[in-house]
């Protein structure tokens, strides 16, 4: 009887596959995986990258907060300017008088929405106060140009935030020209 006579094709393929699989297992186990030093270096590099990103995020969030405050204040100034342009520069008192409007403080939310101090659902964040000033601008040569009060008026708008303690104030001068009626 011949040795090859009782070996079939399927048993030969099974034997070859088994031999191949054992050689793969032996070569993988002979490698032994990563060493402790390699793992330590990899963790050091990853942690350095993560800490760098976290450090930059803090600066980015502060910059975002400042940019949002500047943008909101610009919105508030535009709102106040629109209200001021509706006022009369010649009326001394009354609802359309600049004196009456300037004497009343205005309140805005952190998004720049006008609100009242008594409103519970929209608490104020910005406080706007106004003061009439002399209508004076630089004439270009260092000498001031003055306007008649009936034709133009300067209003100093002070935006204070946040509402309450530890506040910051920004002063913005607005030059108002008399509107033709």
Q: pLDDT of the chain along its 181 residues, tens only?
A: 555 555 666 665 666 666 555 554 544 455 568 899 999 999 999 999 999 999 999 899 999 999 999 999 999 999 999 888 887 777 767 777 777 888 888 899 888 888 877 666 777 888 898 888 765 555 556 566 555 556 777 888 889 888 776 788 888 888 877 666 5
Distances (CA, A) of 87 to 54, 69, 147, 158: 50, 27, 17, 18
Sign of CA dihedral 165, 128, 154, 99: negative
pLDDT at 155: 84
Q: Residue 6 has what pLDDT?
A: 58
What is the pLDDT, as a whole number, of residue 39?
94
Distance from chain centroid for Cα 144: 38
Residue whose C-alpha is closest to residue 156's, from 181, 176, 126, 140: 176
Separation CA 107–CA 19 (nearest Å): 83
pTM of the full structure: 0.62
Instruction: Give the model's pLDDT for residue 143.
Output: 62
pLDDT number for residue 28: 47
| Distance separating alpha carbons of residues 3 and 131, to the nearest angstrom | 112
Give the whole-angstrom CA distance, residue 28 versus residue 43: 24
Per DSSP bridges, beta strands 168-177 and 152-161 are antiparallel
């Amino acid at each position: 009887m011949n040795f090859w006579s009782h070996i079939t094709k399927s048993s030969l393929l099974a034997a070859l596959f088994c031999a191949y699989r054992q050689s793969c297992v032996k070569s993988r186990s002979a490698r032994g995986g990563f060493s402790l030093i390699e793992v330590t270096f990899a963790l050091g590099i990853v942690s350095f990258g993560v800490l760098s990103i976290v450090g930059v995020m803090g600066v980015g969030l502060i910059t975002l907060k400042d940019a949002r405050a500047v943008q909101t204040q610009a919105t508030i100034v535009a709102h106040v300017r629109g209200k001021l342009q509706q006022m009369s520069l010649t009326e001394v008192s009354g609802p359309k008088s600049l004196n009456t409007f300037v004497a009343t403080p205005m309140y805005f939310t952190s998004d720049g929405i006008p609100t009242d101090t008594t409103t519970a659902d929209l608490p104020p964040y910005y406080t706007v106060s106004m003061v009439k000033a002399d209508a004076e601008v630089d004439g270009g040569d260092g000498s001031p140009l003055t306007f008649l009060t009936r034709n133009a008026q300067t209003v100093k708008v002070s935006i204070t935030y946040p509402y309450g303690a530890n506040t910051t104030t920004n002063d913005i001068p607005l030059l108002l020209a008399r509107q033709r009626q």
